[in-house]
Amino acid sequence: MPPAAQETATARLTRLLTMVPWLVNRQGIDVTRAAADLGVSTEQLEADLQLLFLCGYGQMPDELIEADWEGGRVFVGNADSIARPLRLGVDEAVTLIVGLRALREVPGLDERDAVDRALAKLESAAGDAAAPADRVRAEVAEGGSAELLARARRAIAGQRRVHLRYVVPARDEATERDVDPMRVVGIDGQWYLEGWCHRAEDTRLFRMDRVEELEVLDVDGTPPPQATERDLSEGTFRPAADDVSVLLHLLPGATWVSDYYAVDSVEEVPADEGGGRRVRLRTADTAWLRRLLWRLGGRGVVLEPADVVAEVREGAAAALDGYGAAGRS
Amino acid sequence: MTSETGGGAPSAAQAKTERLLNLVLVLLYTRRPLPKAQIRRLVPQYDTGASAEAFERMFERDKDELRELGIPLVTEDIDVLWEDEPGYRIHQRDYALPDIAFEPDELAVLGLASRTWAQASLAGPAAQALRKLRAAGVERDEGALIGIEPRLRTAEPAFDVVKDAVLRRVRLRFGYRRPEAAEVTERHVRPWSLVSWHGRWYLNAWDEDREAPRVFRLSRITGPVRTVGRAGAFEVPADHEAEVMTRAVAAPPTQPSPAVLRVRRGAGHALRRRARTVGEVDELWSLVDLDYGDLDAFAEEVAGYGADVVAEQPPELVDAVVARLRGALVAHGGGEG
């Protein structure tokens, strides 16, 4: 979170009151390193030090804070009264407490004892700021067996390749693949293994609850240099340029689809045209979309393209054939 | 607002930061409460020739803002003989984070807890909190907890206002769209708690119009969320259990019922994983025996397999699957309508 140009005076003050104790305990730290660890640019850090240098408990030279960064090393002195950080604010205490409590529930986590010790110390240090944390509860993710998650983490720590048997429900496929694991991520309620997939020759996210088997191989699992972690700040969905663009009418009863899947546009449909929403989404693979539309049972309708409309219709007709006379009615 | 960087005259924001920092330093340093007049002399940004009235207003605002940041600025009597003039100070013991020594493995899990919010609107406070705990100089243990990254996201626009209201116990009003209702209704609530479950945030609250507890999904709040009244305006019931309340609404418990499905060989992988028994019928089909919870949800799932899965038992499941497939067929221009 680099402080933007519009950082308010109070936001900057809080940042400075955290920065001073941090620097006081790291006398002589390199300017670039300090800026990186503090999450600001070196220009910002220098501007901050410049400001500190003008402040003190009085305006006589020996009453002012000493701040020196000549030669690329930072020294801060005569700041005894703010040499300890300010107590944790409510948001600060809540983020760490809620985060630690969520960690406790991570299946197969070996560090649960450390989590409990950290939580106890943190709660006592935070004092009153800790109480509201009881009103925020977060579950990072569930699904996936503790054993498979632990095995995946061991493979990452030991840099071992893994063999996966992986089910893709959207296409109803079970696949076998070798993967060089990079990390286990819990996001949007699911655990994923991210790694370099030797079958796809690309990085892939595997949902842990769809991993049927995970075997740690006695093979080096260092991912190739081109393997890069995906930016998950927008979630796990990643549309590609060559995806098919589909226009759907979601009738009342199916509008949840536009909350659940990433859509490009949403438009409310007036009641005299059936109500609900008209949405546009992109997908590389129409198999999952056909399945979705069969599930919706007519409450979701593909408007275009025509070949997807035909796929949905023909697939539904073929499925009804399985029910003989009952299906034809 | 002008830029804070560059060599020219300091911007208003810069001058204010200096003023507030000087005020904090002066009030922490003093061994006795300081009267306003003395504060005005010690903080150079106050002593700019502004009128006494302008100074008073500025000082009042600054005090409020420091308290808002959690800085424990207190008012004390200066002297029994001067009891009508209050003095101000900040006690070091109330200001400073208590000395806590964390073990390296504890710092590692705290780091992980902080990074849990790295992609959320609370990323700033989470990073700041960690920096405070690490100020004493213990460096992180990079080797620990390798490879695991729990992440909470707060993509819902309503998150920040609702979170603040929950933490401070402030009443709220907002527009809410129920899943299948076309219109937005205005709701007035006492926000009790916030729960992230299955990747979504839910607000548990007391609905003042319905006079009953309600669970709201944050993604269904539309338009601005407004606070009503002051902080600490209500008490959360002592027996309120946040997760229990959310789950009861988001995923009501159901009794399992048995079903029999005909599943094409090489298909229905997710169904086979949950099966009690799988028997082979011929080269084309298996017979899969499993339990389901909610009939509608399970019928949807089975319909999603198209021609690869045929519901055999119970009859109500068969009817529900057929109804869905016929609905999809007709909606896409097939069947007799």
Q: pLDDT digit string (tens) for A100-135?
A: 999 888 877 778 899 999 999 999 999 888 999 999
Contact A142, A127 (CB under 8 A): no
B6 interfaces chain A, CB cutoff of 8 Å: no
Q: Looking at residue A287, what is its pLDDT?
A: 85
Q: Looking at per-residue confidence, does B7 or A292 come out higher?
A: A292
Looking at A173-177, B121-125, B239-243, B250-254, which range is the least confident one?
Answer: B250-254
Q: Over 70: is that where the pLDDT of A143 sits? A: no
Interchain CB distance below 8 Å, A299 and B1 = no
Selection from B167-171, B248-252, B296-300 with the highest mean pLDDT: B167-171
For residue range B159-185, list pLDDT tens digits in order: 999 999 999 999 999 999 886 666 889
State whether B195 and A253 contact (CB < 8 Å).
Answer: no
Mean pLDDT across the stretch B296-311? 93
Architecture of domain A146-220: Roll (2.30)
Question: Contact A122/B110, CB-based, under 8 Å?
Answer: yes
- What is the average per-residue pLDDT within A148-175? 88
For residue B4, what pLDDT is reported? 41
> Quick one: CA dihedral A252, A258, A260, A261, positive or negative?
positive
Beta bridge mates, B259: B290
| Cβ <8 Å between A9 and B16 | yes
Q: Which residue of A has its CA nearest to B134?
A: A22
Q: Which helix (H) or strand (E) holds B164?
A: helix B159-168
The DSSP element (H or E) to which B263 belongs, if any, is strand B257-264
Q: What is the pLDDT of residues B76-88, one digit of tens each?
A: 887 766 667 789 9
Does B215 have pLDDT greater than 50? yes
pLDDT in tens, B264-276: 998 998 899 889 9
What mean pLDDT is predicted for residues B62-91?
86
CATH number 3.40.50 is the correct assignment for the domain at A244-324: no
pLDDT digits (tens, 9 = 90+) for B3-53: 444 444 568 889 999 999 999 999 999 999 999 989 999 998 887 777 888
Q: Is the dihedral of CA A15, A52, A41, B107 positive or negative?
A: negative
Q: Could you tell me which residues are beta bridge partners of residue B188?
A: B173
Q: Does B286 touch chain A (CB under 8 A)?
A: no
Task: Please report the ipTM that was assigned to this predicted complex.
Answer: 0.82
Q: What percent of chain B has pLDDT over 90?
A: 58
Minimal Cα distance from A318: which residue of B? B307
pLDDT of residue B172: 97
Give the pair of three-digit tokens for residue A87.
């107590």
Tell whether the model's pLDDT for residue A2 goes beyond 50.
no
Residues of chain B found within 8 Å of residue A317, distances taken between Cβ atoms: 329, 334-335
* From B182, B318, B334, residue closest to A326, measured CB to CB: B318
Taking Cα atoms as reference points, which of A151, A258, A271 lies closest to residue A214?
Answer: A151
In tens, the pLDDT along B106-152 reads: 988 999 999 999 888 899 899 999 999 988 766 655 555 667 888 89
Using H for helix, E for strand and C for coil, what is the string for chain A? CCCCCCCCHHHHHHHHHHHHHHHHCCCCEEHHHHHHHHCCCHHHHHHHHHHHCCCECCCCHHHECEEECHHHEEEEECCHHHCCCECCCHHHHHHHHHHHHHHHCCCCCCCHHHHHHHHHHHHHHHHHHHHHHHHEEECCEECCCHHHHHHHHHHHHCCEEEEEEEEECCCCEEEEEEEEEEEEEEECEEEEEEEEECCCCEEEEEEHHHEEEEEEEEEECCCCCCCCCCCCCCCCCCCCCCCEEEEEEECCCCCCHHHHCCCCEEEECCHHHCCCEEEEEEECCCHHHHHHHHHHCCCEEEEECHHHHHHHHHHHHHHHHCCHHHHHC
CA dihedral A175, A177, A182, A185 (to 10 degrees): 10
Tell me yes or no: is domain A9-82 CATH 3.30.870. no
Coil, strand or helix at B176: strand
Q: Answer yes or no: do B109 and A100 touch at CB < 8 A.
A: yes
Give percent above pLDDT 90 in chain A. 57
Q: Which residue has the tokens 């800026």?
A: A35
**Would you list the domain boundaries of chain A?**
9-82, 90-139, 146-220, 244-324
Q: Let me know: does B225 contact B172? Beta carbons within 8 Å.
A: yes
Q: In A, which residues are within 8 Å of B137 by CB distance?
A: 25-26
CB pairs under 8 A between A and B: 395
- Answer for the pair A114, B103: CB distance below 8 angstroms, yes or no: yes
Q: Looking at mean pLDDT, say which of A138-152, A227-241, B25-39 comes out highest.
A: B25-39
Q: How far apart are CA B152 and CA B154, in angstroms?
A: 7
**What letter represents residue B16's amino acid?**
K
Q: Do A153 and A167 contact (CB within 8 A), yes or no? A: no
CB contact under 8 A, B117 and A95: yes
H or E, element range at B203: strand B200-207
**How would DSSP label each residue in B226-252?**
EEES-TT-S---TT--HHHHHHHHHS-
| Residue A184: CA count within 13 A, CB half-sphere | 30
Kindly determine whether residue B132 and residue A85, on different chains, have CB atoms separated by under 8 Å. Answer: yes
Q: Note whether B103 contacts A114, CB cutoff 8 Å.
A: yes
In angstroms, rounded to a whole number, what is the distance separating the alpha carbons of residues B19 and B13?
Answer: 10
SS3 B139: coil
Tell how many helices (H) and how many strands (E) occur in chain B. 11, 12
- Window from A63-72, A124-133, A314-323, B45-54 with minimum mean pLDDT: B45-54
**HSE on the CB side for A320, CA within 13 Å?**
25
Nearest to B301 by CA among B330, B335, B266, B269: B269
